């Protein structure tokens, strides 16, 4: 080692290191940071690692375990073959294409996808993504646990060139063709049945069968996904016309993608007089920060669906906060030690705003079974203290 190299090594930071962020910033693509993003409009650049375009879509609430990046594959092109020792869930934002996965058994699996499909790559399997359109680019959102993996091992060679194989993670036969197996468990705290679809590929989240989950709000429907026997979690929920979900809070890192419909979410910390409002439609993604209450509202004349991806699956909760959520803490009232605010306990501004917003779309509220809506609308505005702020959902590269 030369004297200059020794000096540089001596001067290098030794504490408070973040190998994941060092990697992201060295990849040569934009690193966007905001409360959330319109993933369809984010600036991308050539990403040599994937031989495609891409960017990092980081959020303030991403936490320690998960993050997100966007891959953009130009018309008629494909990514480079790649494998990595972190889990990755892909949600198709736009375009049509196919994915090839080379399994540890020597078998090659190929499946085709279109907008609003969801798929996962088995751990450390090599894969390649193709844009089969000759006219339009394809964009895919990738929620992953690279922060945990890279920060834990702090060796990019170990992450991207690891020879270890995991044959137990490839899923059941035909799971790359959308077939799967339905499982269930009953939450202890909320006495609700959770339905879990185990697969590797869902062709269309807008039409996938969901199941009643009234504990999160009347008419709410939901299904959990167990993808590639992983430690990451995904679920899709639907909000009926004229209704909204109950507010709750949980650990950081839940990346929420709007799938269909149109609406907004409110976020606030306990004791805040100010709400943060995030309007959404397909392409928008945001991440509620740790322990920040958040609530989802459908304002359009059709049911609205969203996809949530996070760390800690139903099979492998991994962290204690996720285990408590899976057991029903997220659907149990805060008055009973849980994490959910029941309708009767929420701030009156919340339902007042919902009535005003749905009226703009010509949608009639279906919440009169819960609220005295005439009385709420009669409250003078000066008695409804606090404000609602809306952050810009497309931040500059940082």
Instruction: Give the separation between CA 76 and CA 84, rounded to whole angstroms.
Output: 25
pLDDT for 5 = 59
Q: Is 367 part of a structural domain of the chain?
A: no
Q: Is 349 part of a structural domain of the chain?
A: no
Domain that holds residue 231: 175-333
Confidence grade of residue 398 (pLDDT, cut at 50, 70, 90): very low
Summarize pLDDT for 103-148 with one digit per residue, the tens. Answer: 999 999 999 999 999 999 999 999 999 999 999 999 999 999 999 9
Q: Is 293 part of a structural domain of the chain?
A: yes
Tokens representing 371 are 């609220």
Q: Is 374 part of a structural domain of the chain?
A: no
Q: Is 186 helix (H, G, I), strand (E, B) or coil?
A: strand
Summarize pLDDT for 321-334 with one digit per residue, the tens. Answer: 888 887 877 788 89
CATH code for the domain in which residue 193 is found: 2.60.120.10
Q: Is 395 part of a structural domain of the chain?
A: no
Q: How far apart are the first and last CA of the chain?
A: 34
Backbone angles phi, psi at 7, to 5 degrees: -65, -40
Instruction: Give the separation between CA 139 and CA 136, rounded to whole angstroms.
Output: 10
Confidence grade of residue 379 (pLDDT, cut at 50, 70, 90): confident
Total of domains in the chain: 1
Q: Is 179 part of a structural domain of the chain?
A: yes
What pTM does this model have?
Answer: 0.92
Q: Is 217 part of a structural domain of the chain?
A: yes
The burial of 343, by beta-carbon neighbours within 10 Å (0-12 exposed, 13-18 middle, 19 or more buried), is given as: middle
């Amino acid at each position: 080692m030369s004297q200059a190299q020794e000096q540089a090594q001596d001067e290098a930071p030794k504490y408070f290191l973040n190998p994941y962020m060092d990697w992201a910033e060295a990849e040569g693509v934009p690193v966007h940071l905001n409360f959330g993003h319109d993933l369809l409009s984010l600036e991308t650049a050539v990403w040599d690692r994937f031989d495609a375009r891409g960017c990092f879509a980081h959020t303030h609430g991403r936490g320690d375990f998960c993050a997100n990046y966007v891959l953009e594959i130009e018309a008629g092109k494909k990514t480079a073959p790649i494998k990595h020792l972190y889990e990755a869930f892909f949600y198709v934002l736009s375009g049509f294409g196919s994915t090839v996965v080379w399994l540890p058994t020597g078998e090659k699996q190929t499946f085709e996808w279109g907008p609003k499909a969801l798929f996962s790559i088995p751990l450390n399997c090599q894969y390649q993504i193709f844009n089969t359109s000759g006219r339009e680019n394809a964009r895919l959102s990738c929620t992953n646990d690279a922060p945990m993996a890279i920060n834990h091992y702090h060796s990019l060679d170990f992450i991207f060139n690891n020879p270890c194989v995991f044959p137990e993670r490839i899923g059941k036969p035909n799971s790359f063709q959308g077939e799967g197996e339905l499982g269930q468990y009953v939450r202890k705290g909320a006495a609700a049945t959770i339905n879990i679809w185990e697969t590797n590929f869902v062709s269309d989240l807008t039409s996938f069968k969901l199941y009643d989950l009234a504990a999160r709000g009347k008419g709410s429907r939901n299904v959990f996904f167990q993808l590639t026997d992983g430690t990451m979690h995904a679920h899709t929920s639907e909000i009926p016309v004229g209704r909204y979900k109950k507010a709750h809070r949980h650990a950081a890192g839940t990346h929420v993608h709007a799938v269909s419909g149109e609406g907004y979410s409110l976020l606030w910390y306990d004791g805040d007089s100010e709400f943060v409002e995030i309007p959404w439609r397909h392409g928008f993604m945001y991440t509620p920060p740790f322990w920040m209450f958040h609530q989802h509202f459908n304002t359009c004349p059709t049911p609205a669906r969203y996809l949530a991806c996070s760390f800690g699956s139903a099979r492998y909760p991994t962290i204690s906060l996720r285990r408590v959520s899976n057991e029903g803490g997220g659907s149990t009232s805060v008055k009973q030690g849980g994490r959910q605010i029941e309708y009767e306990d929420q701030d009156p501004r919340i339902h007042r705003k919902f009535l005003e917003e749905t009226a703009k779309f010509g949608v009639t509220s279906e919440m009169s079974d819960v609220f005295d809506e005439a009385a709420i609308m009669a409250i003078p505005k000066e008695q409804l203290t606090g404000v609602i702020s809306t952050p810009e959902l497309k931040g500059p590269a940082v």
